[in-house]
A and B are shown apart, each in its own frame.
Chain A
Amino acid sequence: MVEITYRDALRQALHDAMVADDSVVVIGEEVGLYGGAYGVTKDLIRQFGPERLIDTPISEPAIIGTAVGAAMTGLRPVAELMYVDFLGMTMDQVGNQAAKIRYMFGGQIGVPMVLRTQGGTGRSAGAQHSQSLEAWIMHTPGLRLAMPATAGDAYHLLRHSLTLPDPVVFIEHKSLYARKEEADLETPDAPWGKAVVRRRGEHVTIVTYSRMVHVALDAAKTLATRGIEAEVIDLRTLNPLDMATVIASVNRTGRAVALSEGVLTAGVSAELGARISEECFDYLEDPVLRIAGEDIPISVSQALEGSSIPTVDLVVESIEKMVR
Chain B
Amino acid sequence: MSSNLPLFDLYRTMRRIRTFEEHVGELYVRGLSAGSMLHLSIGEEGAAAGVCAAMKPQDSFTTHHRGHGIFLARGAEPDRMMAEIGGKETGYCRGKGGSMHIADMALGHLGANAIVGGGIPHVVGAGLSYKRQKKDAVSVAFFGDGAMQQGILYESMNMAALWELPVLFVCINNQYGMGTRIDRATRSTAFDKRAEAFGLKAEMVDGEDVESVFQAAQGMMDAARAGQPGFMAVSCFRFYGHGRMDKSPYRSAEEEETGRKRDPVAHARAGLLARALATPEQLDALDAQIAREMSAAIDFTAASPAPPLTSMFRDVYGAGQPEPEPARSRIDRILARV
Question: Could you list which residues of chain A lie within 8 angstroms of chain B, going by C-beta atoms?
Answer: 25, 51, 54, 56-57, 59, 61-62, 64-75, 77, 92-93, 96-97, 101-110, 112, 141-142, 144, 164-166, 240, 278-279, 281-282
* Chain A, Cβ-Cβ closest to B333: A279
Assembled-state Cα–Cα distance A278/B130 (Å): 50
Chain A residues in 8 Å Cβ range of B334: 278-279
Assembled-state Cα–Cα distance A67/B111 (Å): 15
* Chain A, Cβ-Cβ closest to B319: A165
Q: Is B156 an interface residue (CB 8 A)?
A: yes
Q: Are A166 and B121 in contact (CB under 8 A)?
A: no
Q: Are A66 and B128 in contact (CB under 8 A)?
A: yes
Segment of B13-21, B98-106, B183-191, B218-226 engaged in the interface with chain A: B98-106
Q: Are A68 and B121 in contact (CB under 8 A)?
A: yes
Q: Is B259 an interface residue (CB 8 A)?
A: no
Q: Can you report 10 A-B residue pairs in the complex whose CB atoms are below 8 A from each other? A: A54-B128, A57-B155, A66-B128, A66-B156, A68-B121, A69-B124, A73-B139, A108-B105, A141-B324, A164-B321
Most buried by A among B111, B122, B124, B130: B122
Q: Is B1 an interface residue (CB 8 A)?
A: no
Q: Are A61 and B151 in contact (CB under 8 A)?
A: yes
Q: Is B120 an interface residue (CB 8 A)?
A: yes
Q: Are B123 and A69 in contact (CB under 8 A)?
A: yes
Assembled-state Cα–Cα distance A108/B113 (Å): 16
Chain B residues in 8 Å Cβ range of A92: 115, 118, 152
Besides the contacts A65-B118, A67-B125, A166-B318, what 14 more A-B pairs have beta carbons closer than 8 Å?
Answer: A66-B128, A66-B156, A68-B121, A69-B129, A69-B139, A77-B125, A92-B118, A97-B118, A102-B316, A104-B111, A105-B103, A106-B91, A107-B94, A166-B317
Chain A residues in 8 Å Cβ range of B41: none
Q: Are A70 and B97 in contact (CB under 8 A)?
A: no
Chain B residues in 8 Å Cβ range of A108: 93, 103-105
Chain B residues in 8 Å Cβ range of A59: 155, 158-159
The residue from B93, B129, B151, B152 contacting A70, defined by CB atoms under 8 A apart: B129
Assembled-state Cα–Cα distance A54/B124 (Å): 13
Chain A residues in 8 Å Cβ range of B122: 65-66, 68-69, 72, 97
* Chain A, Cβ-Cβ closest to B330: A278
Q: Are A165 and B317 in contact (CB under 8 A)?
A: yes
Assembled-state Cα–Cα distance A73/B132 (Å): 11
Q: Are A73 and B60 in contact (CB under 8 A)?
A: yes
Assembled-state Cα–Cα distance A229/B120 (Å): 54
Q: Are B155 and A104 in contact (CB under 8 A)?
A: no
Assembled-state Cα–Cα distance A67/B110 (Å): 13
Chain A residues in 8 Å Cβ range of B124: 62, 65-66, 69
Nearest-Cβ distance from residue A178 to partner chain B, whole angstroms: 33
Q: Are B130 and A73 in contact (CB under 8 A)?
A: yes
